Amino acid sequence: MTTSERSKAMVAAAHRRHEETRRKAIDALRRLDADGEPVSFVAVARTAAISRAWLYRDADIRAEIERLRDLHLSPARPRVPFAERASASSLRQELGALRTREAELRNENRLLRAVLARRYGEERAAQLINPG
């Protein structure tokens, strides 16, 4: 085997190792997110059985880890697996239902206030007619 052939074989082997490591990292990210687990460089490295240094060097993987980590660290958002997260369409539908319910409750409050005012008026009139 010539030096050139050995070099090509080494490059091909390095490329295969890189792709295998990348696949492990992506699988680990998907698994952690699907399980609702916190995503961090340590968790991904441990789950994928790869080094943290490799994760930091791959720009795409690093960006995804940071995005998911920030999503899970946000105090306003609970740790919900991706498959269970609400879609924009379902959120709009829920908002519409809440607005309808709010209108119903406002109308009910208005009617109850009117009934209460009428009842107070009747009691006041009765006191004026029959004091004591």
Q: Mention every residue, 6+ apart, whose C-beta is less than 8 A from residue 50.
A: 21, 24, 25
Which has the closest alpha carbon to 61: 81, 47, 76, 79?
Answer: 47
Q: Residue 68: which pLDDT band, with cuts at 50, 70 and 90? A: confident
SS3 83: helix
pTM: 0.52
Q: What is the band of 87 on the pLDDT scale with cuts at 50, 70, 90?
A: confident
Mean of pLDDT over the chain: 87
Q: Which of 44, 33, 39, 34 is nearest to 66 (CA)?
A: 39
Q: What is the largest CA-CA distance in the chain?
A: 119
Q: Locate 14 and state its tokens.
A: 């390095």
Cα 23 from Cα 48, distance rounded (Å) = 9
Between CA 64 and CA 108 the distance in angstroms is: 49
Q: What is the CA radius of gyration of the chain?
A: 32
**pLDDT above 60 for 26:** yes
Q: What is the structure's pLDDT at 19? A: 93
Mean per-residue pLDDT for 111-116?
95
- pLDDT confidence band for 63 (50 / 70 / 90): very high
Length of the chain in terms of residues written = 132
According to DSSP, residue 39 is labeled P
Share of the chain above pLDDT 90, in %: 53
**Statement: residue 79 has pLDDT above 80:** no
